[in-house]
Structure 1
């Protein structure tokens, strides 16, 4: 006699009303946590002039005091801006730094800083182009498409995205700046984010637990590899953007190497979660269609799924990282630098450690997740009986 679908993994499934209530309760708990993070105060800046920032439209520009030397410009660009219907003078200082300088043209929107005692003859400071307007439109379009395409799952993915941003900005960065170990704080934050994201995507199910454990085993392996090979290859972390500026901003006690190791763990954790969930979901589907399969058969299925996915995922990491230092490679190519020289340089060595550690950890996620998923799905049914009417 055919076994009813709702009893494949458990003797009885929970009532829909109880499951809905529990889901709503957990959603409210996460929403409360997110709001608490939003309200959590951050480190007080040395100079806080954000409250005096306004958005103004550039009406006219005067570049007479700008000097050009080669490809860079430096000096003062004088602007006339329209702020709430009133014309003011503004200044834009250019220091000859291509990555930091900005140059305005008539019609641009600028973020300006107004003095405390604003007067008609006040001179404003043009801080930067105003980008949050179109940035907000872009994010709204992304969120709408994600929710329309993914439905409730897409909404939970959007929530996990926002939650991750808040945890990094409100928890990870302040703790590291306060002197906590950057590597271990990053590992703990990564574990927290992985647990939240896996729960939101898969719920409290064997699939979710297998994905979490497999991803964290891979992340832990990456954590160890980063420490070992980072020290063996004498990577200090000073190659990270704005590392020197960070130390001279009042934080000379920071360990740049530990921050670098933590950055490797954090940046590779997303791909690890993706791969772990793919394998856990695959093993869950195999078990759902053939409940008689045991540990070994499920393990073989998980390993086959992992082999199919690992090849593209490691290449994805390589392309993602190489895109970040493409101009650096172009400089070496333009100068005719020998591969031995640029591969042994500090900058490229740091990127090699980042790429190889992330890829190595990603490869390890596949067998770890396959092993954990096979053990969980082949285990007795009682511990997770509440969620297995549909393992997907």
Structure 2
């Protein structure tokens, strides 16, 4: 039997408030809902037959049109069979190839009163149910292991996703200053996540202030070295596509720089929480400990945590560029050339500046925590 620690009143207030705010944000229009075509319907469909006669194969590359006979599995037109098309453009990263019995996400183009299907286009393989299963499994394991803390962590996870999808990204698309907007969103998420998990206490205050100090350092260094590196934000995938889609007013470079401290903010929160939690335990065990001793304790924990976290950040960033690096190695490209390429330099900037924040958040949190935990003792 799992034993759940009963929540405190302050925790319940935070949770209710978070659920209410999350619900409001979800239903709040972001200004881009009208971009979707009203005369379309997205459904799940089963591939019955395929016709590949119009596909041209050149080596491993396929181009042309794949014709599919599909059966709609849900929605208003459930049970209907029709022909849909899958356009192959010769780029394996974008193309999909279907076989009989595959399930697809299909877009139905409808007439004016949405009573009849005009045409159908398959978007991709249908993965929503599998994604929902993975999410449910993650929630079950998290709650089973962490109990009430796991529930709070799941709520903070949910809120972070909602805030990014409904506040940060629409705000960037509307042309708001990327760095101030991103800082505000990170501060909001940091406060919600830390106070929800740690509680509205000294441990939470110490972790929040320490985490935000690390984020602030990362932000300043990103702006400074981003300018010195002379890197344009268009190096990120699909960034240039935004300019051609009517958003030529976007400052892609600032969006790229904001992404640096957004990406590292989660790891920064982890370190700040680890140090603050350890100092809270030490202080509870020995409330007569001096500020200097508590600070030293935080430094020792910080050294151990930072030692592994910086490598974690390197592995997280480099993993996404492994194929690119393999191409350079296969071609015998000199290392000096690789390191000077703008998109490689951008990842180096991303990794190193993010790592600075991780290293510095440890002493910042230790110093702040030693002051926060011992302040009442000093006043007496």
TM-score, scaled to structure 2: 0.93
Aligned to 2:3: none
**Which ranges in structure 1 are unaligned for 5 or more consecutive residues?**
1-16, 384-392
Q: Aligned partners of 1:53, 1:154: CA distance in 2, in Å? A: 34
- Give the corresponding residue for 2:107: 113
Which residue among 371, 374, 380 is the counterpart of 2:376? 380
Quick check: 1:281 aligned with 2:277?
yes
Would the aligned equivalents of 1:89 and 1:122 in 2 still touch at CA under 8 Å? no
Task: Determine the C-alpha separation between the residues in 2 that align with 1:233 and 1:346.
Answer: 9
Find out whether 1:25 has 2:35 as its counterpart.
no
Matched, 1:335 2:331: yes
Give the direction of change, closer, same or farther, for the CA distance of 1:245–1:45 in structure 2 (3 Å limit): farther
> Please, which runs of 5 or more residues in structure 2 have no aligned partner?
1-5, 73-77
Q: Is the 8 A contact 2:275 2:298 kept in 1?
A: yes
How much has 1:71 moved relative to structure 2?
A: 2.5
How far, CA to CA, are the matches of 1:284 and 1:234 in structure 2?
43
Secondary structure, aligned partner of 1:89: strand
Of 156-165 and 33-42, the range deviating more from structure 2: 33-42
Q: Secondary structure at the match of 1:103?
A: coil
- State how 1:262-281 maps to structure 2 within 5 Å: 262-281=258-277
| Per-residue deviation, 1:381 | 5.5
Q: 1:45, CA displacement in angstroms?
A: 4.8
Task: Note the aligned Cα RMSD (angstroms).
Answer: 2.0
The residue aligned with 2:249 is 253
Instruction: State how far apart, in whole Å, the 1-side matches of 2:116 and 2:159 are.
Output: 43
SS at match of 1:379: helix
Which residue matches 2:75?
A: none
* Equivalent-residue separation in structure 2 for 1:305 and 1:115 (angstroms): 59
* Shift in Å, 1:34: 0.7
The question of 1:34 aligning with 2:30 is answered no
- Mapped pair 1:215 → 2:203: no
Asked whether the 8 Å contact 1:88–1:122 carries over to 2, the reply is no
Q: Is the 8 A contact 2:40 2:108 kept in 1?
A: no
Aligned counterpart, 2:365:
369
- Higher RCO (C-alpha 8 Å, min separation 6): 1
Q: Report the Cα distance in structure 1 between the residues aligned to 2:39 and 2:102, rounded to whole angstroms.
A: 20
Q: Whole-Å Cα distance in 2 between the matches of residues 69 and 347 of structure 1?
A: 30
Aligned length: 367
Is residue 312 of structure 1 aligned with residue 312 of structure 2? no
TM-score normalized by the length of structure 1: 0.90
Deviation at 1:70, TM superposition (A): 3.0
| 1:235 Cα deviation after fit | 1.2
SS at match of 1:107: coil
Alpha-carbon deviation of 1:112?
A: 1.3
